[in-house]
Structures are given as structure tokens and as C-alpha cells.
Chain A
């Protein structure tokens, strides 16, 4: 059974700092991995999707890496801003399975 863990559960940083969020998964036979952002009480916004054959994806100040063999992914946020404050969720899908398996998320607070 696939399990996804995100560390830390919460993170508070000053504005402008570069930061890394971690995601690990127990079964390396994944189809893809997605990072999402969730604002309080809201739905999920897809940030980056990495296919199993890829090592990383970039979008603006965000960079996500994937190491399938070790079951790890990181989300790097450069020059953090107060508007980046949200919960960040990592989810994996496996070939032949239609469902996404989510971690519990990392709650990020960026202080002005």
C-alpha cells in the first residue's frame, strides 16, 4: 500500500528566504507525482507535475525534483513571499491506478 509522508508538517520563514519542502513515498513504482497548493478552506491548485521518467520540473520560482529510486521528491521555493503562505501537498499516482495518494501536507507561513 502506497504511503506518502511530508516533512515538516509546518514551516515558518522570513520573506525572501529560499526553502525546501520534502515528500517521500514507500512504493517507487509511480506513474507521476504532483505538487499542489491549498489555501485555507479552498480547493487544490496544481503547481507542478513530474512524470516518472523525469527528474525535475520548473515553473517560475518553483522547482520540483523526483528521485524515484529513493522514493523522494522536493519542492524548492526561491525568494519566498508572504503570498506563498499556504499548505503544500504532494500526491503520487501509480500505473494502472486512477487514484492520487496524498501526503498530509506542509503548512508554510512566510512572514513579512
Chain B
């Protein structure tokens, strides 16, 4: 059974650019949730995708957007990057929106 994978592992961007992060869910899981973790903080919920539809969103601006594909993998897109977008971005997959969430290794984004 393959766990949750994320790519890339690290990324450096400059302010104003756009970025796309990718997540492959664990086998058998149909739900992906994205979280942002700033240094020294707990993860903050960005949004969740269930069966290719957004199924809940946290307190993040519209420049954070996402997609889920028919194979349940997912993308997180961030437009007009700001310095405080620098963080570890975590994705988690689950079997259904309320299932136990299993996390990937994360993507470390640095915005200069």
C-alpha cells in the first residue's frame, strides 16, 4: 500500500509569483485535505476535496485554490505569493471527509 506523497519537497519562489503543489492520496482514499504549517505553529486547514469537489474551506483568501483529479490526487495553487506564505504545506488523505487523515511528508515553500 502506497502512502501519501507530495511534490516537490522544497520550493523557492519570489513575491508575486504563482506556485503549484501536488499530492497523491493513499490507495483507497477519496478525500484530500490541505494544511499550512508556519514555523512553530500547528497546521491550519486550507480546504478539503472530496470526489473532485471542494468540501470545506478554512480562513484563506481566494488566491489559494485547488483541484482534485479522477484518481483522487490533488493540486494546491497559490497565486500572487506573499512573504508570509512561506511555510510547510501538508496534504492528508482519508477514506471519506470524516475519516482518519494520513499525512504526506510536506512541501517546504520559501517566498523571497
> Does B90 lie within 8 Å of A43, measured CB to CB?
yes
- Inter-chain CA distance A41–B9, complex, in Å, is 10
Within the complex, the shortest CB–CB distance from B107 to chain A, in Å, comes to 10
> Secondary structure at chain A's binding surface: helix, strand, loop or mixed?
strand
Give which listed residue, A44, A91, A98, contacts B56 with CB less than 8 A. A98
Greatest chain B CB density within 10 A among A44, A45, A49, A95 is at: A44
Residues of chain B at interface, number, CB under 8 A = 29
Interface of B is mostly: strand
Contacts of B41 in A (CB 8 A): 104
Proximity string of chain B (13-57) to chain A, C-beta cutoff 8 Å, 1 when within and 0 when not:
000000000000000000101010000111111001010000110
Measured in the bound complex, the distance between the Cα atoms of B101 and A49 in whole Å is 10
Contacts of A93 in B (CB 8 A): 98
Given contacts A4-B42, A41-B106, A95-B98, 5 further A-B contacts (CB under 8 A): A34-B100, A44-B103, A89-B43, A98-B97, A105-B42
